[in-house]
Amino acid sequence: MSRTKRYRSVFVWLLCLALLQHTRGMATVIPQADDQPLIEPLARSEVIRFRLYSAYLDQEVPLLVYLPAGYGNGETYPVWYGLHGYGSTENMWLMDAGIGGKADELMKGGEIRPLVMVFPQVRYDSIKEIQADMQDGVRGMSLSARFICEELVPYVDAHFQTVQSPQERFIGGFSMGGLLALEIGLRRPDLFGKVGAYSPALQYSDFSGGALKKWLYPTQAAAGADDLAGFRSAHGLERTRIYLDSGGVSDPFWQSIKALNESLQACGVSVEVHTHDGGHTLKQGLLRQYLLFYAGNP
């Protein structure tokens, strides 16, 4: 084994060890590429699997992180947080849908910029957790949303080579994950600049008037609930871009997605909506469009 390959093997082993060995609430810092001058950038994309303790969820959350070919060259990368549907796991996008291979293909062809992709395991709050949250009469952000915004994003930005701005940080998901992505992205434009929701499991079918504001910002809904004209600027959504898709009339959430699109359009939020055949499914044939939305080259 050459000296360079030996250093590379040692680094990869130390990287995995650093990711696996963490104390409760405090993860070990991953060595950055500029601290390892003898290590070559990744010759091909790699996936790291580990667990991160969440104080909000009071458990270790399984994660997959996709690193593109070339990672470790000292550059920083945009990052997409991909959320799975109900009944799936953090494996859905990479292992089941094969989005890593599609990303490799599009990067090689120059269609998208290299990016880091993060796939956490997410879940709905339990009835007990929702009841506890509602004691003040207001349903706030879910525990998974708080984990992503306040624990996962800071961890990823601290330990991986990411561009740390909302314009280069994205979130998207399918079904339950799509609903969660919308709730996070529309509430936290300071964190995420692009939001993808693929057949999101929306709980309401009417977002007209003040319903959109009541859904997203229940504590502010009483004042100016019908002021759609000022909605975008009031909530910092001038630069946010939304991608919605649905399986058409056979998708149980189609009417809700249409209603949300119309309300967002009325507010001046940048949103595009797409339909496909197949109902409430995640279609592999659409992975290219999803990735182009996040990281497409001009």
Q: What is the pLDDT of residue 124?
A: 76
Superfamily of domain 44-295: Alpha/Beta hydrolase fold, catalytic domain (3.40.50.1820)
Q: What is the pLDDT of residue 229?
A: 65
Q: What is the pLDDT of residue 132?
A: 67
> Domain boundaries in the chain?
44-295
Angle between helices 287-295 and 99-108 (to 10 degrees): 60
Q: Establish how many alpha carbons lie within 13 A of residue 230's alpha carbon, considering only the half-sphere containing its beta carbon.
A: 6
Q: Residue 140 corresponds to which amino acid?
A: G
Global pTM reads: 0.84
Residues 81, 65: Cα–Cα separation, whole Å: 9
Strands 169-174 and 116-120, by their bridges, are unpaired
pLDDT tens for each residue of the chain, 298 residues long: 444 443 343 334 334 433 333 322 222 233 333 334 326 899 999 999 999 999 999 899 999 999 999 999 999 999 999 999 998 999 999 999 999 999 999 999 999 999 999 999 998 766 676 666 555 555 667 889 999 999 999 999 999 999 999 999 999 999 999 999 999 999 999 999 999 999 999 988 888 877 888 888 877 654 454 556 678 888 899 999 999 999 999 999 999 999 999 999 999 999 999 999 989 999 999 999 999 999 999 8
Residues 219, 222: Cα–Cα separation, whole Å: 7
Q: Which helix (H) or strand (E) holds 54?
A: strand 46-54
Asked whether the beta carbons of 169 and 79 are under 8 A apart, the reply is yes
Q: What is the pLDDT of residue 207?
A: 86
Q: What is the pLDDT of residue 294?
A: 98
| DSSP count for the chain of H helices, then E strands | 10, 10
